[in-house]
Amino acid sequence: MISAVILQIIGLSLFVFGFFPVKPALSGVSGPESFYSDDGGDSDSVANHTQTSLPPHLLKSLYQELSGIHPSFDRLILMVIDGLPAEFVLGKDGLPPREDFREAMPYTQALLSNGMAIGYHAKAAPPTVTMPRLKAMVSGAIGGFLDVAFNFNTQAMLDDNLLGQFFRIGWKMVMLGDETWLKLFPGLFTRHDGVSSFYVKDTVQVDQNVSRHLESELNRDDWNLLILHYLGLDHVGHIGGRNSILMTPKLKEMDEVVKMIHLSTIQTRDNDQGKTLLVVVSDHGMTENGNHGGSSYEETDSLALFVGLKSDHSDYAASSCNSIYQVDIAPTLALLFDVPIPKNNVGVLISEAFDLLTDDKQLRVLELNSWQLLRLIQAQLPGLSCQNLPSHNGFTDGLTSTIVECSGSMEKMLCCLYMNAVNLHSSWKSKSLSGSKSRDDYSSTVAAYHQFLKTASEWLSRRVTDKPVGLLSFGIVTMAVSSLTLLGLMICMSTEDQPGENQRLCNSITGMHKWSVNEIFILGVMLILVMSMASSSMVEEEQYIWHFVLSTSYVLFLRKAVQPLASGSAKSLSKLMKGQTERHDIRISSIILLLISGRILRGWHQGGVNWTYLPDISKWLEQAGVNNVRSIQLASGLLVISLSICALYLFGSRRKITRFFGFCFLICGLLVLWHLYHNNAFVSTSYDAAIQTQIIYAILGIATIGTFVALPWFIPLWFPGTCSELNVKSTSVTFVGQCTFSLVEFRDSSYLIGLAYIICWCLLQLLLQQPINSMPILLLLVQIFSSMLYFSCSGLQHIEVEVALLYYMGMAGHFALGNSNTLATIDVAGAFIGLSSHSMFLSGILMFIITYASPMLFLLSMPMYISVKCTSYLANHQNVDLGHLAKMILGFPCLVPLGFNSILLTSYTIVLVLMRNHLFVWSVFSPKYLYVCATTVCIYIGVFVVAATEIYTSSQFHYPRESRLNKQLGSSRKKLKSI
């Protein structure tokens, strides 16, 4: 089993690094060669040599001379409002924004209405997190998907970008705000004041730190580029969602900033400072809950507002409902300020930004953008040449304006569209010299350029990075071998005969095993899950599958519980009459309780990605008011403590230790409740609240680790063992009448350690989860205790089915807590509870704990399950086979989760390869694969904790007893020899 896990880790690593490489980029930076047509001459080498040898001011003059376009502006202010949906400023579907949002930003709305600004819905590419979106805006390139992981550990940007181009022509740059800019562009800023972007509980100071320098910077004339990155609005969204009461004040604050900049720099038009362009952008939008990272409209709807560009539209709707792509910002700014377009740009210039230019200059900017995209296409398709296209031989005279129909392969179509634009442009120039040009010729040329630019941009954006096929294949084969190994072990163990029969062969292979309904259902579940992975809709709404599987499992267990009554046979009735009626009632009651709690969990968070608007219990409670949610949170915490104490007192054979543990758990629980009552962890940013939370973390950690380490040592001291009449069967000898109380001690110790794991984990989740999720945590605990009651009365058959049920509960609970297969549902706000400053490592751990609360909870319940099955084993067998006991009770709790997860991991890996050219590969299938990988890590951690717990606990009871037994045997032999 260990070898199979190691193989799986190797295969997964190879595949991830092969499928998700950092997207390759063209090396070097754009220079003077950008202003020449790619005619195959030696202009590149000459231009590059000139670029490296010229000082910044001469290079700037060279760019202006080569471009033929005088810069429209002298200075640029780039104001980034993190997380601001364009809908808040521009409205949606031609309709204006909500009234409260319009009233919160009156100055910005006036700029749009008066034609003094042009606004765009700038569509951002997934993943919609800050770092890759900033890179897209300044480079025009769509980064690799794994930038979502690098977002938490930003590295310097080495690709060609606008800031590098500005720096090379001698611009002085100042940055105030998100420190991500400082990590991306170290050493480029003359002055800077960075703030952490990840401490989301701060919604006030994080923006005041930016605005406090603003007035003094606006009065200076020693900078050319001023970057302002405000984070407060994004933090407000993470804490309270789009409809937070803090959203309107934050929008007012941003409107005041726009007003200050416009009045002091743009409207005054100070000649000493030069003409200034203000560009207000957002890196991404946000969902209703305030999260982001996925590909929904709400998350990708970012803002691009150009203040200082004149709009010839007289109505508000025409100047605010345009749509562009976020990557279009880079080429637009590059051409406005006369610097080369970054080499890896896939964006298309925004035409309205150049409306005030003459016709020839507008065609010139389109030409420069076309040359840059053509070079990028030729880098993607080596050997591609459009100069000798046969269908364009008739254009050599440069006088015709005929457009050729473009068809065929994508390579031919791109060349055809490009040559159409080039020849129409050439024809327009010829007619312009002869004085016979017409407006129709100009419009046709512009349309041809836009057709090529749009087609080229879309093709480059969809271009799939070449994958190392050999590496991917080896990774998949390795994972497949691991899955088959784990599956074979699981089948062999589940089909072996009962203890005492030395059966080594797998009866299922020879057809001798009779499969039960529950075992057939497990195989069906795996088949359903594997088949659903190939559907993007089923991936987005995976929670429906898990809830269906879990409910069906409950029904099957209920059928098994009522089967003796339904059969009505005399033998079954006699068994019920002989003291088994109580156990039978417990089984039926437990399943009914599981069904009820499962149905409530099913309705708590409705929908995953596409059906989030449907009503559910959580939305209803949130609409009822914050006070009601807090009351439910406190009541749930109190019930969690009460249920835990009840579960402890079911452990009736250890009165002293029961009272001791009950007191410890009660203190921990009351401490958490006291903190929740006096502090709202998601709003409070006080230092005292953070210290209190850290103290609770420490207490829960000490309680958990202390129980694990100390309990196996103290149980034998508090309760000395006694001999029983059980037989211990070893590999070489059987000792009749030997003291086997160590098995009972192992059972009791495993029960208490498992209970400690569960209680401390639930208390931790009450502290970290959103308040609305406190009731689901309680219901998950109810499910664990109910299932344990059922399992305690179910005997030793089909243990793998029971472990599979726990696995299903964990996965269904994962979605019941509001998680989905989109990155937008990751709770970022909870990852900073108890942290007074940002720590990538600590916040990452807390984020993982919150996201995988349910699967880990059910894995941590395995020690309690092992104790329950150990009780059944001791009650039903006089001859204790330690090997079989370890295999049946410890093997399945570790093997079943590993086997299930390995099958799903391998299957989805194959699906991801098959879907690599699918339209939704980056928006649906790739985020799901990241979740699958994270779930694999969760399973590894949980299984390791279970195995370490049971091995450590059993070693403390087995080896000391065995050593004492050997000493007793040795002394007995000495006495016999002396006699």
- Using one digit for the tens of pLDDT, what is the confidence trace for 599-641? 999 989 876 677 776 788 888 888 888 888 888 989 999 999 9
Structure tokens belonging to residue 490: 């699981």
Tens digit of each residue's pLDDT (9 = 90 or more) over 316-366: 555 556 889 999 999 999 999 999 999 989 999 998 888 888 888 999 999
Residue 867 pLDDT: 85
Better pLDDT: 859 or 747: 859
CA dihedral 151, 941, 846, 677 (to 10 degrees): 160
**pLDDT the model gives residue 833:** 85
- The least confident of 190-194, 198-202, 462-466, 721-725 is 721-725
Q: Which of 640, 664, 739, 665 is nearest to 967 (CA)?
A: 739
Cα separation of 933 and 937, whole Å?
A: 6
Statement: residue 808 has pLDDT above 60: yes
Q: Which of 202-211, 524-533, 674-683 has the lowest mean pLDDT?
A: 674-683
Average confidence (pLDDT) over 637-649 = 88
What's the pTM?
0.70
Q: Does position 890 have pLDDT exceeding 50, yes or no?
A: yes
Take residue 182 and report the two structure tokens written for it. 């400082």
Considering the chain, what percentage of its residues have pLDDT values greater than 70? 77
The pLDDT tens digits of the residues spanning 269-294 come to 544 556 899 999 999 999 888 888 77
Q: Which domains does the chain have, with CATH numbers?
A: 75-347 (3.40.720.10), 515-564+578-679+688-719+733-969 (no CATH)
More confident residue, 199 or 479: 479
Angstrom CA distances, 851 to 547, 559, 636, 806, 934, stand at 18, 34, 20, 18, 10
Question: Which residue from 851, 856, 883 is spatially nearest to 944, judged by alpha carbons?
Answer: 856
Strands (E), 141-186: 173-178
Token pair for residue 300? 């990708």
Cβ distance 176 to 213 under 8 Å?
Answer: yes
Q: Please report which residue ranges of 382-468 form alpha helices under DSSP H.
A: 410-434, 439-462
What is residue 437's predicted lDDT score, i.e. its pLDDT?
72
